[in-house]
Amino acid sequence: MCRHLAWLGEPRTLASLVLEPSHGLLRQSYAPRRQSRGLLNADGWGVGFFADGRPEPVRWRSARPLWGDASFVSVAPVLASGAVLAAVRSATEGMPMDESAAAPFTDGQWLLSHNGRVDRSVLPARGDAESVCDSAVLAAHVFAAGVGALAPTVCEVARLDPAASLNLLLTDGSRILAVTWGDPLSYLEDADGVVVASEPWDDDPRWVDVPDRHLLEVTPDGVTRTALEG
Ligand code: GLN
């Protein structure tokens, strides 16, 4: 399973979000602490973020492991944003290994990352998916259904594929939406903002674990969580 995180709050450098936390995504790419399937997340990685004056997000994605991306390490200390989504990938068997299969995916407005797997045959075929990777097809399905319908869309996909694992993170720059379905998420709220992550990036006791089958919404007003119907 992949590992991912989203940040909403005061602008922070990508280095401080992705590379510097002691148990952050960089560490999780080779030594995750709470990962139930897979030992490494070395099959590519990606980060998307919103920049001032641009409504649509920008992305940096790679098919290489995060720890080998020396150019990103060089620029990450000077790239800052108040809305960021990043993921390190452990590819599901049979899925493509190129950069286009690395999250985050986008429809031009939203960024989406999926930790898990889903049977693509239960999803409508979509020519606008960024990759044939199950996560990209799922992203295209969520975008087509409308992000406002995220909860019923997830419940319907889970009904069609009961073995699916559907841990999702989305942001449009003004809020984060997150779903736990088969894999956990945790969040940490402080004066500067909120980070939602597959696993805590440090041992701060303020991290809160989100129960399974929940929708989390993070806005500048705070965090709300709602149980999803099975
Ligand atoms: N199924 C997705 C992929 O192959 C995500 C895998 C994961 O969560 N480890 O990339």
State which ligand 1 atom lies nearest to the alpha carbon of 37. 9
Residues near ligand 1 with C-beta < 6 Å?
A: 1-2, 89-92, 95, 101, 114-117, 133-135
What are 14-48's pLDDT values in tens digits? 999 999 999 999 999 988 788 777 678 889 999 99
What are 52-95's pLDDT values in tens digits? 999 999 999 999 999 999 999 999 999 999 999 999 999 999 99
Question: If you take atom 10 of ligand 1, which residue's CA is the nearest one?
Answer: 91
pLDDT of residue 213: 98
State which ligand 1 atom lies nearest to the alpha carbon of 103. 10
As a whole-number percent, the residues of the chain with pLDDT over 90 amount to 91
List the domain range (segments joined by +) for residue 23.
2-227
* Number of separate domains in the chain: 1
Q: pLDDT-based confidence at 115, cuts 50/70/90?
A: very high
pLDDT of residue 230: 52
Distance 135 CA to ligand 1 centre (A): 6
State which ligand 1 atom lies nearest to the alpha carbon of 102. 10
Ramachandran quadrant class, 34 (left: phi over 0; alpha: psi -120 to 50; beta: rest): alpha
CA-to-CA distance for 147 and 119, rounded, in angstroms? 20
Q: What is the mean pLDDT of residues 186-207?
A: 97
pLDDT of residue 116: 95
| Residue type (1 letter), 170 | L
The pair of structure tokens assigned to 126 is 């979509």
CA distances from 96 to 5, 102, 129 (A): 22, 9, 13
Q: Return mean pLDDT, the chain.
A: 95
83 contacts 48 by C-beta, under 8 angstroms? no
Q: What is the mean pLDDT of residues 204-217?
A: 98
Distance 191 CA to ligand 1 centre (A): 33
pLDDT of residue 32: 78
> Exactly one of 1, 2, 17, 18 is catalytic; which is it?
2
pLDDT of residue 221: 95
pLDDT of residue 39: 76
Q: What is the mean pLDDT of residues 110-131?
A: 96
Distance 114 CA to ligand 1 centre (A): 7
State which ligand 1 atom lies nearest to the alpha carbon of 41. 9
Query: Catalytic annotation on 155?
Result: no
Q: What is the CATH number of the domain that holds 173?
A: 3.60.20.10
Q: Coil, strand or helix: which one is 190?
A: strand
| Confidence check: pLDDT of 1 > 90 | no
Beta carbons within 10 angstroms of residue 38's beta carbon: 16
Q: What is the mean pLDDT of residues 204-210?
A: 98
- Report residue 89: phi and psi, to 5°: -115, 135
The pick from 5, 88, 90, 100 for probing ligand 1's pocket by mutation, whose C-beta has the most ligand atoms within 8 angstroms, reads: 90
Task: Using the Cα atoms of residue 45, residue 194, residue 170 and residue 172 in order, give the sign of their dihedral.
Answer: negative
pLDDT of residue 30: 87
